[in-house]
Structure 1
Amino acid sequence: MTVATSAATRSPDPYTTLLDATVADLTAEEIQRWRQLAHEAVEPNFCLDPRFLMPAVAHHPYAAGMRAVIVEREGRMVGFLAYARLRPWRYIPLSLATTATPFLNDHADRHHPLVAAQNPAEIVDAILAALRRRGMPLWAQLRFFPSDGVLAEALAHQRSLLVENQFQSAVDRSVGSPSGTPSVDVIDIVDAADHLSASRRKSLRRRMRSLEREAGAPITARLWTPDSGTLTDFLNFQASGWKGDRSRGGEAFLLDPVDASWFSAMMQGFIDDGDARAISLTCADRLLYLALSVRSGAARFGFIDSMDDDFSRFGVGTIGRIVEMMLLRSESTPRLPLDPALGAGADQSAAIYPDRRSFADVWVARQPWLHAARHPLTVADDLLARVVRLYRSLRHRVAKTVKPLIGRD
């Protein structure tokens, strides 16, 4: 691993903080410690699971230079944060450390760090202290950081923090014993989603019966552990609809061989560990909906889904996500919370889930006096405005001095 190891880059005991670790240079032993942390993290995050990121580093140029802050204690990795250094303002010489790396910004809606369950506040302190060290940018941006829960509590006493862009995402926090294997009949499954109102379930039943009449067969659901063939089926199914048409804004994986390679390698890692699930809806032999989810630590995450465009007017996507939630409830032992990993603006999709969780962008200032600024861009704008005012003032003074001289002998 390529890291700076001088005293200036290490935090005080009992924690050792490695700053500017290059993710691509991590050794097999370090990756194993990272995997253990992802498994035990107090706030699981599949987007920072090595099974998600290491294939990206291997296959995707956007992830090639990804860096990390790594916190260790007594030979165990207890904190991990992926980030990049960027210069977001073209004409202003200010850099930014951000978790919205070129890869994560395009492929992930969860950026929060992996933190061990023991003393999480101290570990978050060590991560933030690393981001504030001399030589780091004036600001660090932690995108999509939880606004509630253990990590949010760890930030409560911190100074020099700015919080903005808060939004609510969906989650199914139902835990406890599995609910038993439901019927493969989709109408029965949706009827069992008692967190939905009676009127909403009635509307969904009406849509499903209309779909069955048009398709000429009942809708059935299936939950299984995918294999490489399932991944190929998903790639082809996704590309067969509008997502496979670039002119319509489609971003199917198969449109970019790099994305397709990363997707297959990443999902295969979760499949090999038994931590991937596939859910499908079919009418007779016609595939209507296909979704892939993964487990990281003590949580499940909805990763990607796709549907048959010909049946979108029946709300196949909504029905499919409800079925995914209900089938995963029945399968987990013990039942695990499900995070569908929805981003900001997905209010319609979020409405079908029983619980909500808040996220926000958190700005970490290197110096306390920067806390007075509302936003790093505010400081950049202020600096630029001062330069413009100074230029105009000098130009005015020069004009006043030169004008009386014009026309003199």
Structure 2
Amino acid sequence: MSGQPFQGEAAPRGRVLSFDQVDDVFVERWDRLAERACPANPYFEPAATLAAAAHLPDGHRVRLLVVEEGQQFDHLTFLLPVIDAVRYRRVPVPATTTWRHAHCFLGTPLTVPGAGAATWQVALDALADADASPWLAIDLVDVDVAAAAREGARRSGRAVTTLETVERATLERRPVDDYVQTCFSARRRKDLRRRWRRLTEELGAEPSLVDRTDVDTALEDFLRLEASGWKSQVGGALAVRPGHADFFRGMCRGLARRGRLQMHSLQTDDRVVAMACRILTPDAVFEFKIAHDDALSAHSPGILLALEQVRGFHATGRRFVDTCAAPEDATQNRIYPDRRRLTTVLVQLHGRRGDWAVRNADRIQAAVDRIKRGRERIGQLTRARAVACEAELLQSRDGGSRESIA
């Protein structure tokens, strides 16, 4: 189904649902959509979204934008979690945005294969009818999905623009298993072999990559490992943020029940060096979370874990690995040679304010960026001037001391 009804079927229906309206029957339809979705997005599947709504801040304010088809509207063909915001990217106009919480690394909606502009048109019309917000920010979606959204908006006569496009590190399947040679230079491989030897010496045994099937124990081991390091000190570890550890447990257990969770541990018999939590879809691996023992940081345990995972990628049969890393993550960009292009699309829902926000968001963002760069430059000059003044003061004191001695 692709937004056009088969002969004798009702036209597609768009709705905006609260979680109070989500029952077991709807979740079953949601699961079926997630299994068929192209492209896949595990962050918007029931296991992830329901756990996030139950445990993370603002989860109670999230709604589901859906499109349904069939005589009884019992086929879910589109789903996107959305939330209202006072503003988006400094634009002083209330907006509805894709709900991307702190642990959601992809904003592409769940859609059936072939869903295109017609489906988006139904979804946007439904959101406009239900929503007081003048505009919608569709954040961090695949570029082909964004193209369908733009066309759907144009068909409804809505202002639409692309705010930005970014690329993040991925690893795509190749005909032959040469990923280690592709991802790591000869010099880097030599350095990692040295680090592996020294890590083995410090541990007193050679570590190995273990696929942890003891899910509950593995989750608790991961939470403890992450909380023992620098993330805890800066308040970023799951275990030190209220509700976030419960979200992690709930999401991962839900994924594990469907065979979609993979917990990797680089370890010896008595010590865990590094761990990775990964989400599996039929054609992809999503790198969700990683943690390592900070006491072993000199040996680059996270990189050594990534090396072992790259070694095993070809055997998975999957099409690609999505690192889910920030576009500016230099470490991931060095390791993984391929890129996934993601974009943000802005759509007017109704009214002049929505039209103004969509047409001026890029200018406002550019102005904010210029101000930020200016402040950073002023800060750099101020610090440089302070250093120069301190040097002059020390020099004058030193000169005065020498004169008095003379």
Give the TM-score, by structure 2 length: 0.76
Q: Structure 1 CA distance, aligned partners of 2:61 and 2:358? A: 32
For 2:14, give the aligned amino acid.
T
1:308-335, CA deviations, whole angstroms, 9 ceiling, x for partnerless residues?
11222322212212323433442x3x42
1:182-203, CA deviations, whole angstroms, 9 ceiling, x for partnerless residues?
xxxxxxxx98454433233223
**Contact 2:235 / 2:241 at 8 angstroms: preserved in 1?**
no
**Contact 1:24 / 1:66 at 8 angstroms: preserved in 2?**
no
1:26-66, CA deviations, whole angstroms, 9 ceiling, x for partnerless residues?
11111111111111101111110110011222233421121
Residue in 2 aligned with 1:151? 145
Q: Structure 2 CA distance, aligned partners of 1:294 and 1:232? A: 17
**Contact 2:80 / 2:110 at 8 angstroms: preserved in 1?**
yes
For 1:312, give the aligned amino acid.
S
**Contact 2:170 / 2:339 at 8 angstroms: preserved in 1?**
yes
Equivalent of 1:60, from 56, 65, 82? 56
Alignment of 1:4-403 (within 5 A): 14-19=11-16, 21-74=17-70, 75-88=74-87, 94-99=93-98, 101=99, 104-133=100-129, 135-147=131-143, 150-155=144-149, 157=151, 159=154, 160-174=159-173, 192-245=180-233, 249-283=234-268, 285-296=270-281, 298-330=283-315, 332=316, 334-366=317-349, 370=356, 373-375=359-361, 378=364
Give the TM-score, by structure 1 length: 0.76
- Superposed displacement of residue 118, structure 1: 2.7
CA root-mean-square deviation: 3.1
Alpha carbons of structure 1 residues 129 and 204: separation in structure 2 relative to 1, 3 Å: farther
**Contact 1:226 / 1:271 at 8 angstroms: preserved in 2?**
no
Structure in which a larger fraction of residues adopt helix: 2
- Superposed displacement of residue 121, structure 1: 3.4
- Superposed displacement of residue 13, structure 1: 5.4
Where structure 2 has 5 or more consecutive residues not aligned to the other structure, the ranges are 1-8, 368-406
**Contact 2:163 / 2:362 at 8 angstroms: preserved in 1?**
no
Where structure 1 has 5 or more consecutive residues not aligned to the other structure, the ranges are 1-11, 180-189, 382-409
Q: Structure 2 CA distance, aligned partners of 1:283 and 1:111? A: 37
For 1:287, give the aligned amino acid.
V
**Contact 1:218 / 1:284 at 8 angstroms: preserved in 2?**
no
1:97-156, CA deviations, whole angstroms, 9 ceiling, x for partnerless residues?
001x3xx33221211211110333332332233344475422111111122xx4144246
Q: Structure 1 CA distance, aligned partners of 2:333 and 2:147? A: 25
- Aligned to 2:335, the other structure's residue is in SS state coil
Alpha carbons of structure 1 residues 360 and 313: separation in structure 2 relative to 1, 3 Å: farther
